[in-house]
Structure 1
Amino acid sequence: MELLSYMRLFVEVARTRSFRRAAEALDMPNSTLSRHIAELEKTIGLRLLHRSTRKVELTEAGDVYFKRCQSIVEEARIAHESLLDVVERPSGTLRVSMPADLATGYLAPILADFATTYPLIAFEFDLTPRRIDLQADPFDLALRIGPPPTAPSMLVARQIALLPRYLYAAPGYLKKAPPLTVPDDLRHHVMCIAQGTLRQGDVVRTLYRGDESVEVTTPTRFAMNSVGLTRSLAAHGVGIAAMDTELARDDVDLGRLVRVLPEWSLSPVQVHAITETRLLPARTRLFIEFLKARLGNA
Structure 2
Amino acid sequence: MIDDLNDLQYFVLVVRHKGFTAASKISGVEKTRLSRRVAILESRLGVRLLNRTTRQIALTEAGSHFYAQCLTVVEGANTAFDSIANLQIEPAGMVRLSCPQVMAETYLSPILPGYLLMHPKVRLELNATDREVNLIEEGFDLALRARPQIEDSAGLVARKLGVARRVLVASPAFIARCGQLESPEDLKQVDTLCRPGDVQNGKGRWLLENGGSSCLAAHTPRLLSDDLRMQLEASIHGLGVALLPEPIASSAVARNQVELVLRGWTGAEHIIHLLFPKPKGMLPSVRSLIDYLSIHLPASIQEHSVVI
Between the aligned residues of both structures, percent identity stands at 24
- Where does structure 1 lack aligned partners over 5 or more consecutive residues? 5-75
Rounded to whole Å, the distance in 1 between the matches of 2:226 and 2:291 is 27
Please give the secondary structure, in 2, of the residue aligned with 1:119: coil
C-alpha contact 2:188 2:218 (8 A) present in aligned 1:
yes
CA 226–172 in structure 1, closer or farther in 2 if over 3 Å, else same: same
C-alpha contact 1:198 1:225 (8 A) present in aligned 2:
no
Following superposition, the deviation at residue 115 of structure 1 comes to 2.0
Following superposition, the deviation at residue 111 of structure 1 comes to 0.9
Rounded to whole Å, the distance in 1 between the matches of 2:217 and 2:272 is 26
Q: Tell me the matched-pair count.
A: 218
Following superposition, the deviation at residue 109 of structure 1 comes to 1.1
Aligned residues: CA RMSD: 3.6
C-alpha contact 2:88 2:283 (8 A) present in aligned 1:
no
1:127-142 alignment to 2 at 5 Å? 127-142=128-143
In the alignment, residue 234 of structure 2 is paired with which amino acid?
L
Following superposition, the deviation at residue 223 of structure 1 comes to 5.5
Rounded to whole Å, the distance in 1 between the matches of 2:194 and 2:145 is 17
CA 117–243 in structure 1, closer or farther in 2 if over 3 Å, else same: farther
CA 81–205 in structure 1, closer or farther in 2 if over 3 Å, else same: farther
1:287 paired residue number:
289
1:236 paired residue number:
237
1:159-198 alignment to 2 at 5 Å? 159-177=160-178, 179-193=180-194
In the alignment, residue 111 of structure 1 is paired with which amino acid?
L
Stretches of 4+ aligned residues off by more than 6 angstroms: none
C-alpha deviations, 1:47-89, integer Å up to 9, x for none?
A: xxxxxxxxxxxxxxxxxxxxxxxxxxxxx99x957953xxxx4
Rounded to whole Å, the distance in 1 between the matches of 2:160 and 2:226 is 20
- Where does structure 2 lack aligned partners over 5 or more consecutive residues? 7-80, 303-308
1:108 paired residue number:
109
CA 170–214 in structure 1, closer or farther in 2 if over 3 Å, else same: same
C-alpha contact 2:170 2:259 (8 A) present in aligned 1:
yes
Rounded to whole Å, the distance in 2 between the matches of 1:225 and 1:156 is 30
Following superposition, the deviation at residue 178 of structure 1 comes to 5.3
TM-score (norm 1): 0.59
Following superposition, the deviation at residue 95 of structure 1 comes to 1.2
1:117-266 alignment to 2 at 5 Å? 117-147=118-148, 153-177=154-178, 179-193=180-194, 199-200=199-200, 201-203=203-205, 205-208=207-210, 211=211, 213-219=213-219, 221=221, 224-266=225-267
Please give the secondary structure, in 1, of the residue aligned with 2:291: helix
TM-score (norm 2): 0.57
